[in-house]
Amino acid sequence: MALLQTIVHLDPRLLAIVGGVTACFYVHTYPMRGDVGLVLELALAVASFAYDRNVVGSSVNNALSFALSMVSLNYLSLAVATICWRLSPFHPLARFPGPVINKITSMKLAFVTWSGKRHLVVQGLHEKYGTIVRTGPNTLSINSQSAIGPVYSSAQAYSKSHAYIPGKFSGDGLFFIRPRDVHSVRRKHWAPAFTPTSVASYKPIIEKRTNQLMNTISKRRAGHGIVDLSEAIQHWSYDVMGELTFGKANRLELMKDNDLGNYVDSGQSATVAFEVLGTVPALFDIIWHFPMTKTIGILGNLAGSLLATRSKSNEGRSDDIASYLLGEHDESLPKLSFDDLRLDVLFGIQAGSDTTAGVLIFMFYYLLSHMESYNRLREELDDAFPDYDAPLNREILMELPYLSAVVEESLRLGTPFPGLPRVTPKGGATLAGTYIPEDTIIGVPAYSQSIHPENFWPEPESFRPERWLPGGLGPGSRASKQAVLAFSWGPFGCLGKPLALQELRVVAAKMLLTFDLKLSPDFDDDKFVHGIQNMRTTIFKYPLRVLATPRHEL
């Protein structure tokens, strides 16, 4: 009773300060959603106003001032306590080097991610601090190939972090499922769609759409011979994934109609939002409630509409990707809810189109910037396919050594993801020879690994497809496939890898067999390179304008 009386007579402002400090230790032990935290702060403001107005008898203005001071003191004490804890020698990650601001808040990493240059900034941090860098309050970047196996590739690969929670979307999609065991169950719905037999069956659609791409380029270049190759490839990629996913129910026809629905930008905006705000999940919880976030749902709405049409089809079993998710091939699999299916097909369209398009754009940029590589590839293709207009033999296409080398090199330099965040298991883990505490968010930076001299030598930052051929670039040459994280590895690895590799080869072959390509005379290399933004999606601010001259009559 005496303690209660003491508390009652304490200055309420002191209680606000104590509450803030207490909240610091609570949320670091039991993470809280950002919107829940905001509601609690608003509740404190309302309670403080009511107390000062009705109990103390203050005027409205004084009560408002009191409520504001209570919230400010509570939040300030929470912030100060948080900073002290994160910088203290008692923090689990205290011994790991990194910028002070990164140790204090994840907002710095979010802003860097928003700039599209996170991969370059993280690489700079590793150059300054070493193999393991503290990039956030509870986040480490580990620039070591030795960490790839245990983190991503092994059967005990670490679960995904909270960065994969997709805002307030209903349902669960394969990409967003974080626990490894739950993910493996959902993966069974997807896996049959990407067996060698299934992928081979998609070739007619890929080739048909790629022939359409050649005609689209020819039409768009009319008059001056210049075409925005980046835009044409993006339109092709969405059309391909639309038809592969939904079959006859597909309505994505960007090559024919242009992107009137703004689907490419919408898909990229959604990806950017998840990548940027995924570094600060609490902020994502709050921002998701604002109307502006609804614009990123344009592609999701279309995916839902196409899925509804496809699921009502009464034409019997099909062989599109949706047919596997709908259980048309295996009725023993548990049925997925419509919300789960919608999120899955949305991810399939966006990931399957956007990433492939990005690698292709990089591929043609590098080839056209290194004409010796371009000419060598064209010579190989001309020898393999003397009848340029005939269907491409898939077996021959997949075995061409220099084409394969160009694809590998484009994947190495064309997928500069900043990292694939995972959470260390209970009991912690030893990575790169260093113990990492449990529940730490860690990631191996894909870009840094792709240019690491221990993985690729010589000229690790240069486009040299020859490094993937027998003999490489000479004595001491190194080219480690394990260090290329374009598709990740292991239980969470991309199931669509065989499809993507087929698409990359088909488009590269058809393009060089059909056109003589050169960079446009007005192409600005510096603007193109500096305009590239990588946020899990690759945004090209400056178009890849090329001079495309038909080699034959189209």
Annotated binding site for heme: 494
Q: Which residue, among 510, 532, 541, has the nearest Cα to 216 in the 3D structure? A: 510
Locate 521 and state its tokens.
């005379």
3-state secondary structure 54-113: HHCCCCHHHHHHHHHHHHHHHHHHHHHHHHHHHHCCCCCCCCCCCCHHHHHCCHHHHHHH
Q: Report residue 265 as tokens.
A: 């930008």
Dist CA 130 CA 107 (whole Å):
22
Which residues does 334 contact at the CB level (< 8 Å), separation at least 6?
Answer: none
CA–CA dist 257, 260 (Å, integer)? 7
* DSSP line for 462-482: S--GGGGSTTTTSTT-EE-GG
| Tokens encoding 528 | 């193109």
Radius of gyration of the chain (CA): 27
Cα of 45 vs its chain's centroid, Å: 38
540 pairs with which residues across the strands? 532
Q: What are phi and psi of 532, to 5 degrees?
A: -80, 125
Residues in the annotated binding site: 494
Paired residues of 430 in beta bridges: 435
Contact residues for 27 (Cβ-Cβ < 8 A; gap 6+): 37
How far, in Å, are 36, 204, 215, 440, 503 from residue 201 at the CA level? 49, 7, 23, 43, 13
